[in-house]
Amino acid sequence: MEKSKTKHVAPAITALAYTLLVPFLFACSSQRAAIKQEVAVDPTHKVVVIVLDGARYSETFGDSTRQHIPYLSALASQGTLFTSFYNDGLTQTMAGHSTLLTGHYDVVDNGGYDSLQRPGIMQLYQRQTGAPATATVMLATKGKLRSFAGCGSEVQVEEHALALCGESIDHDVMLVQKTESILSTHAPSVSYISFSQPDYAGHDGIWEGYIDALKLSDSLAVALYHRLRRQPAYQDALFVFTNDHGRHLGERWADHGDDCAGCRHIMLLAIGGGMPADVIVQERFSMAQLMPTLSKYLGLSLAVGYQPLITHFPSATLPSQ
């Protein structure tokens, strides 16, 4: 079980959600490919993945009132909501994030001691395009995710970026300004942003604290979305909101990690980038299908072994080679 860092979400913090936003974590930069591969990548296509760590579906879009996520609920009509999206692998933090990044269900140490076992979408983008290190970024408030800032010994992560890592960052409130600053400065093509407070508060086992944390992350994530959407580089970007895992059902709700429906069922909302508005998709999809789908949208080449694409996403409209 992951150690919690805070027992309660102070009510005053919610009021600061749109204003008190200071730097915190780490930019994920992968080494430029030695030889640029010939791929048809559209530089105007940008993807922003926003993860609400540990938010159970029954408290997000699984609740017909959506009372705990009012901002995401209001935003949903602008995009496509997938109501049957599942983590079919290990329902732990590191394994879930690994799958979102690589498109594979690998067994990963949950303490943050393992690197990705295969290239993630950010590494593939850098290797196939030869783009500068600033073309991809990973920002998260869980310090252990730093192990995914590179891909084994093949990728060197900039030391100055790692200097921003660590669990000394107190709260998701501290994430948005740093994210906005980096994205407005560098306009990376692939951005991976993870809010951790719902999971931290959930592990505390205090229901009110978990709900307060979820409401705060809901407001922060959507505030970030609107701030980025106002920037010219992200007016047509594809934004994806999802989770790494859910939580147990019943009295064990404070934890997660097995194959119960509460742990496996997660949200998926996609907006912009050609996604149809005000659409609800009930077809079942797996978490491992998201990374190859986003890679296809960016125009990247994928080897065999990935799960089928989520066909409701637009493919990259690129010139033939």
Determine which helix (DSSP H) or strand (DSSP E) holds 139, and give its type and residue range.
strand 136-140
Q: Which residue has the tokens 């993870």?
A: 194
| Mean per-residue pLDDT of the chain | 82
Cβ atoms 85, 287 nearer than 8 A: yes
Q: Which residue has the tokens 């960052």?
A: 169
Cβ atoms 114, 149 nearer than 8 A: no
- Which contacts (CB < 8 Å, 24+ apart) does range 57-66 have? 57/243, 57/246, 57/262, 57/265, 57/266, 57/267, 58/246, 58/249, 58/262, 58/265, 59/210, 59/211, 59/214, 60/214, 60/243, 60/267, 61/267, 61/269, 62/265
Question: What DSSP state is assigned to residue 52?
Answer: E
Indicate the fold that domain 22-298 takes in CATH: Alkaline Phosphatase, subunit A (3.40.720)
220 vs 240: CA distance, rounded Å? 15
- Comparing CA positions, the residue from 165, 106, 105, 116 lying closest to residue 141 is 165
- 265 DSSP β-pair partners: 86
Question: Could you give the C-alpha distances from 164 to 58, 89, 182, in angstroms and in order?
Answer: 34, 30, 13
* Average of per-residue pLDDT across 31-37: 39
Model-level pTM? 0.85
244 exposure class (CB count in 10 Å sphere: 0-12, 13-18, 19+):
buried
Among 45-54, 97-106, 216-225, 308-317, name the one with the lowest average pLDDT. 308-317
Q: Render pLDDT for 99-125 as a digit per residue (tens, 0 to 9).
A: 999 999 999 999 888 888 888 898 899
pLDDT of residue 150: 52
Q: Render pLDDT for 295-305 as a digit per residue (tens, 0 to 9).
A: 999 999 998 89
- 240 DSSP β-pair partners: 49, 270
218 vs 220: CA distance, rounded Å? 6
